[in-house]
Amino acid sequence: MKSNKLFWDSYASDFDAIYGTKNSWFNYTINKLFRGSMKIRFEKTIRMIPEEKVSIIDIGCGPGHYCFSLAQNSEREILGIDFSEIMIKLASKHSEELGLENKLKFEVANILEFEPNRKFDYSIMMGFIEYFEHPELIIKRALAITNRTIIISFPVVGGFLAFQRKLRYKRRCFLQLYSQEDIRRLMELLNISSYAIEKIGRDFFVTINLN
């Protein structure tokens, strides 16, 4: 299996295409199968975060599409981090194309080593936690740097599409799918009591409230 970073570097351009910035067979196929669910979680995340001057960190921001949408017509202060330089290059390029470069910051950083000297009101981790064998370490990092709310998507285990996704990722990158029980156990392990789990499409949309 490739290292996760090598995998994401090589997958960056095709992943970006899911958001419709490039047409390819991959774009077409994946859009058809997955876009519904990705779109729901995307819109829900943007709606959840107030438009006033709150600070947000997008952990594993990829090519930056959540950040762009959050930045548009708002006072929000946004930082996107990703350990793939190629993803961050794509994000920076798109932000210039959209004229958002002064409203956003992007940084190459591995969340497991990231120690900012500040906290953020909101942390979002979309399409991210499933790539870690120890999700508790990732949530601990998010708890350490967040003031108000952490928003996480967890892909749902079971069903044909989940099985198909598992097959696609086999030997390419670690991938863990979740049941609602798995998420509850994870929260218990971390002593998190104030959280909500909502099933949206092929994801569980989890909100952890910290105040």
203 is an interface residue for ligand SAM by CB under 6 A:
no
State the minimum distance, in angstroms, from the CB of residue 140 to ligand SAM: 13
- The encoded tokens of residue 80 equal 């996107």
Q: Which of 82, 122, 177, 205 binds ligand SAM (CB under 6 A)?
A: 82
156 is an interface residue for ligand SAM by CB under 6 A:
no
3-state DSSP call for residue 132?
coil
CB neighbour class for 29 (10 Å; exposed up to 12, middle 13-18, buried from 19): exposed
Angle of the 25-48 helix axis to the 160-169 helix axis, nearest 10: 110
What is the identity of the amino acid at 44? K
Number of residues that bind ligand SAM (CB under 6 A): 18
Write the CA distances from 99 to 56, 94, 116, 207, integer angstroms: 19, 8, 26, 31
State the minimum distance, in angstroms, from the CB of residue 68 to ligand SAM: 10
141 is an interface residue for ligand SAM by CB under 6 A:
no
Q: Which neighbouring-strand residues pair with 205?
A: 153, 198
Query: According to CB under 6 A, which residues from 13 to 32 bind ligand SAM?
Result: 15
8 is an interface residue for ligand SAM by CB under 6 A:
yes
**Which span sits near ligand SAM by CB under 6 A: 78-86, 156-164, 182-190, 197-205?**
78-86
State the minimum distance, in angstroms, from the CB of residue 193 to ligand SAM: 26
**Which span sits near ligand SAM by CB under 6 A: 29-37, 98-106, 123-131, 186-194?**
123-131
CA-CA-CA-CA torsion sign (29, 34, 36, 41):
negative
